[in-house]
């Protein structure tokens, strides 16, 4: 207990010192993410408030639908917490940089594990809480509940979070006793990304906007909608206890609330005890072997990546860098598994465009122009995850690049073209498919294709260049790079650049609409001026950050 108290005090001092030593840029970053999180919470609450309010108004089937919605969300949260806790436990308990110091200290291994247990629990649950608390609070808002509802809500959620988190950690310590931690982490990351991608597509294809559309729906249609959301039920699942607890809260059923709390808290306590008992026997053994991995003998045959690269008419050095980047990307499941999320977002994006209720020629072309900005935002979001961290992804091996006969100029330009081509393909795919679905005219189609070509160039140049200006070679998770001050600055500049492109092209589009609908003969000189301005701005967005990035890497002290 004394060791655990010391570790908790140490963690507290680390947090306090990090706050006190926060730079001005860190303060701005904190304010930015705080405001962003607050807006998300408000939007999340408002969205579910409208859905629950609508369901409550259905007198005959409203309670059934609300119970089904609660059960679906509780079960989804349960499995999300389980998978998330597995990945968080691997990173926190086996791959954390402070483990060598803690294990070599006179602290007991059990105290170290318990400290890491709760740290892992916090790391895996904060995102679900950020989404879940506003959602469950919406029930209190709709049913005009008092402060007691929200206190009991937190009491119900606390053990509910501990149970799947503890089971995930138990699964982790058992499986890592026999398999390398890094391989398990990559496999679980892949499964989580696949699960999230399927969840996004599944939820969107259910068309939840129909719940609060202006079209009148009968009870049978509502029941058919929620029948598609049915999940396997069991009275022994913690999600069922949570659902029963919330329904009892809504109906002011004291006995039901008491039984749900007893089930959840007793199971949570038993889960913690079982995890600690088993961890005493297997945690240290798994920790000792967590850094080992199987080494496959490399054959003499060249792999597919090298054979493909040999077909490209590139100099030796850029070709070698391209092969290296491709192999690193494929070997890291945390990188390529995010393509499932990207694919799901593309499907949802096109599905949304297809289902827009647009019937007039004017609205279709107007939405196509606004869609250009939305596609630019999607590309910027992809770039902040893949392009901006590309230089930092080299990690400690950056000194090998600096000591090699490859110049920093060649190094960065290889990164630029390696990421620009996939971004260009994605951007043009979104624009061409969505414009075909909208049925836009030839002018808007050509303008969209040219604009996306420029936007992908600018976004990639900004990403690679600023990633070299603000590198972070020491990181436990590559996502930390994008979340840093440099990533925030990059995203702001990217959005400003995309907004400037739209502003420059707004006048030519307006003139085009005038020509189409009012048959006014306007000069197209404004279009040529706008395209020239976009070209100049794009070249600047490429050259300036790339030059500064090359200079920063060349002057960097190893």
Mean pLDDT of all residues in 445-467: 92
**430 in any annotated domain:** yes
Q: 281 and 329 in one domain?
A: no
Helix residue ranges, H only, 388-441: 398-403, 408-438
Residue finishing a domain among 289, 323, 357: 289
**223 in any annotated domain:** yes
pLDDT of residue 267: 94
The larger pLDDT score, comparing residue 482 to residue 464, is at 464
Task: For residues 551 and 407, give the distance between their C-alpha atoms in angstroms, rounded to a whole number.
Answer: 11
Q: 357 and 276 in one domain?
A: no
Task: For residues 410 and 263, give the distance between their C-alpha atoms in angstroms, rounded to a whole number.
Answer: 62
Average pLDDT across the chain, whole number = 77
pLDDT category, 490, cuts 50, 70, 90? confident
Ramachandran class of 252: left when φ > 0, alpha when ψ lies in -120 to 50, beta otherwise: left
Task: For residues 396 and 476, give the distance between their C-alpha atoms in angstroms, rounded to a whole number.
Answer: 12
pLDDT of residue 268: 93
Q: Which helix (H) or strand (E) holds 261?
A: helix 254-289
pLDDT category, 543, cuts 50, 70, 90? very high
**74 in any annotated domain:** yes
Is the predicted pLDDT of residue 5 greater than 90, yes or no?
A: no
How many domains does the chain divide into? 2
pLDDT of residue 298: 45
Contact 243, 67 (CB under 8 A): yes
Q: 505 and 373 in one domain?
A: yes
The larger pLDDT score, comparing residue 288 to residue 469, is at 469
Is the predicted pLDDT of residue 136 greater than 90, yes or no?
A: no
Measured torsion, CA atoms of residues 320, 325, 330, 334, in degrees rounded to the nearest 10: 160
Mean pLDDT of all residues in 134-140: 88
Is the predicted pLDDT of residue 42 greater than 80, yes or no?
A: yes
pLDDT in tens, 83-92: 778 777 877 7
Of how many residues is the chain composed?
Answer: 558
Residue finishing a domain among 238, 272, 289: 289
Is the predicted pLDDT of residue 477 greater than 70, yes or no?
A: no
pLDDT of residue 55: 75
pLDDT of residue 215: 44
Mean pLDDT of all residues in 51-69: 76
Tell me the C-alpha to C-alpha distance, in Å, between residue 488 and each of 17, 28, 100, 103, 412: 23, 10, 32, 36, 21
Across 14-28, 383-397, 486-500, least confident range? 14-28
Is the predicted pLDDT of residue 208 greater than 60, yes or no?
A: no
Task: For residues 284 and 113, give the distance between their C-alpha atoms in angstroms, rounded to a whole number.
Answer: 9
Q: Which helix (H) or strand (E) holds 22?
A: none
Residues whose CB is less than 8 angstroms from the CB of residue 99 and which lie 6 or more positions away in sequence, other chains included: 93, 112, 287
pLDDT category, 163, cuts 50, 70, 90? very high
pLDDT of residue 216: 47
Contact 5, 107 (CB under 8 A): no
Helices (H) and strands (E) in the chain, counts: 21, 0
Mean pLDDT of all residues in 204-208: 54
pLDDT of residue 461: 93
pLDDT category, 264, cuts 50, 70, 90? very high
Q: 66 and 149 in one domain?
A: yes
Contact 410, 322 (CB under 8 A): no
pLDDT in tens, 29-39: 778 778 878 88
pLDDT category, 103, cuts 50, 70, 90? confident
**295 in any annotated domain:** no
pLDDT of residue 293: 43
pLDDT category, 206, cuts 50, 70, 90? low
Q: How many CA atoms lie within 13 A of 490 on its CB side?
A: 35
pLDDT in tens, 348-396: 667 667 766 666 666 677 777 888 888 888 888 888 888 888 888 887 7
Q: 372 and 246 in one domain?
A: no
Across 261-270, 393-402, 535-544, least confident range? 393-402
From the centroid of its chain, how far is CA 322?
A: 26
Q: 127 and 248 in one domain?
A: yes
Residue bearing tokens 């945690």 = 283
Tokens for 183? 């391989």
307 three-class SS: helix
**459 in any annotated domain:** yes
Mean pLDDT of all residues in 451-467: 93
φ/ψ (deg, to 5) at 252:
55, 45
Mean pLDDT of all residues in 267-283: 90
Task: For residues 132 and 75, give the distance between their C-alpha atoms in angstroms, rounded to a whole number.
Answer: 12
Residues whose CB is less than 8 angstroms from the CB of residue 17 and which lie 6 or more positions away in sequence, other chains included: none
Mean pLDDT of all residues in 107-134: 83
pLDDT of residue 341: 60
The larger pLDDT score, comparing residue 483 to residue 468, is at 468
Read off the DSSP letter of residue 215.
S
Domain residues for the domain of 230 are 62-289
pLDDT of residue 297: 41
Counting residues of the chain whose pLDDT is more than 90, the rounded percentage is 12
Q: 318 and 279 in one domain?
A: no
Q: 273 and 328 in one domain?
A: no
Is the predicted pLDDT of residue 40 greater than 50, yes or no?
A: yes
pLDDT of residue 458: 94
Residue finishing a domain among 256, 289, 322: 289
pLDDT of residue 304: 66
Task: For residues 443 and 452, give the distance between their C-alpha atoms in angstroms, rounded to a whole number.
Answer: 14
Q: 453 and 370 in one domain?
A: yes
The larger pLDDT score, comparing residue 344 to residue 552, is at 552
Contact 541, 461 (CB under 8 A): yes
pLDDT of residue 442: 85
Residue bearing tokens 């080992």 = 292
Tokens for 152? 């009991």
Is the predicted pLDDT of residue 406 greater than 60, yes or no?
A: yes
**28 in any annotated domain:** no
Is the predicted pLDDT of residue 294 greater than 50, yes or no?
A: no
Counting residues of the chain whose pLDDT is more than 70, the rounded percentage is 75
Mean pLDDT of all residues in 71-92: 80
Contact 184, 175 (CB under 8 A): yes
Q: 526 and 453 in one domain?
A: yes
**227 in any annotated domain:** yes
Measured torsion, CA atoms of residues 540, 541, 546, 551, in degrees rounded to the nearest 10: 70
**14 in any annotated domain:** no
Q: 323 and 265 in one domain?
A: no
437 three-class SS: helix
Q: 340 and 279 in one domain?
A: no
Mean pLDDT of all residues in 463-479: 79
């Amino acid at each position: 207990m004394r060791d655990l108290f010391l570790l908790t005090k140490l963690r507290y001092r680390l947090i306090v010192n990090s706050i006190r030593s926060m730079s001005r840029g860190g303060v701005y970053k904190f304010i930015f993410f705080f405001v962003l999180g607050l807006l998300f919470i408000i939007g999340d609450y408002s969205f579910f408030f409208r859905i629950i309010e609508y369901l409550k108004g259905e007198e005959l089937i409203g309670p059934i639908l609300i119970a089904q919605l609660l059960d679906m969300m509780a079960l989804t949260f349960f499995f999300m917490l389980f998978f998330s806790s597995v990945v968080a436990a691997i990173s926190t308990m086996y791959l954390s940089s402070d483990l060598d110091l803690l294990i070599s200290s006179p602290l007991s291994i059990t105290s170290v594990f318990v400290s890491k247990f709760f740290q892992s629990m916090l790391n895996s649950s904060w995102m679900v809480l950020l989404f879940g608390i506003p959602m469950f609070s919406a029930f209190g808002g709709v049913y005009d509940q008092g402060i007691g509802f929200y206190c009991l809500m937190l009491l119900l959620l606390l053990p509910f979070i501990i149970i799947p988190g503890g089971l995930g950690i138990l699964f982790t310590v058992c499986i890592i006793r026999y398999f390398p931690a890094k391989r398990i982490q990559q496999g679980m990351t892949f499964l989580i990304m696949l699960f999230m991608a399927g969840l996004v597509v599944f939820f969107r294809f259910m068309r939840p906007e129909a719940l609060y559309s202006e079209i009148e729906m009968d009870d049978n249609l509502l029941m058919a909608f929620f029948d598609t959301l049915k999940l396997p039920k069991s009275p022994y699942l913690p999600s069922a206890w949570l659902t029963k607890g919330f329904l009892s809260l809504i109906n002011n059923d004291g006995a039901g609330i008491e039984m749900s709390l007893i089930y959840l808290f007793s199971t949570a306590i038993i889960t913690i005890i079982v995890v600690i008992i088993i961890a005493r026997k297997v945690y240290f053994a798994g920790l000792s072997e967590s850094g080992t991995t199987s080494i496959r003998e490399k054959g003499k045959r060249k792999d597919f990546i090298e054979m493909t690269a040999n077909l490209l008419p590139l100099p030796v050095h850029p070709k070698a860098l391209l092969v290296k980047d491709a192999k690193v990307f494929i070997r890291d499941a945390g990188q390529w598994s995010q393509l499932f999320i990207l694919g799901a977002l593309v499907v949802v994006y096109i599905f949304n465009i297809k289902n827009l209720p647009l019937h007039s020629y004017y609205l279709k072309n107007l939405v196509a122009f606004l869609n250009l900005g939305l596609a630019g935002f999607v590309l910027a979001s992809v770039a902040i995850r893949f392009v901006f961290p590309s230089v930092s992804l080299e990690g400690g091996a950056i000194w090998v690049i600096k000591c090699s006969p490859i110049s920093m100029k060649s190094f960065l330009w290889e990164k630029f073209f390696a990421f620009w081509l996939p971004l260009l393909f994605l951007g043009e795919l979104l624009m061409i498919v969505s414009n075909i679905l909208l049925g836009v005219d030839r002018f808007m189609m050509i303008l969209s294709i040219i604009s996306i070509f420029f936007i992908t160039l600018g976004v990639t140049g900004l990403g690679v260049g600023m990633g070299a200006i603000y590198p972070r070679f020491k990181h436990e998770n590559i996502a930390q790079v994008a979340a840093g001050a440099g990533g925030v600055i990059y995203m702001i500049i990217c959005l400003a650049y995309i907004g400037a492109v739209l502003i420059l092209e707004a006048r030519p589009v307006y003139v085009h609409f005038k020509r189409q609908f009012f048959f006014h003969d306007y000069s197209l000189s404004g279009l040529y001026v706008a395209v020239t301005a976009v070209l100049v701005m794009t070249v600047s967005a490429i050259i300036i950050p790339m030059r500064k990035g090359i200079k920063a890497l060349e002057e960097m002290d190893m």
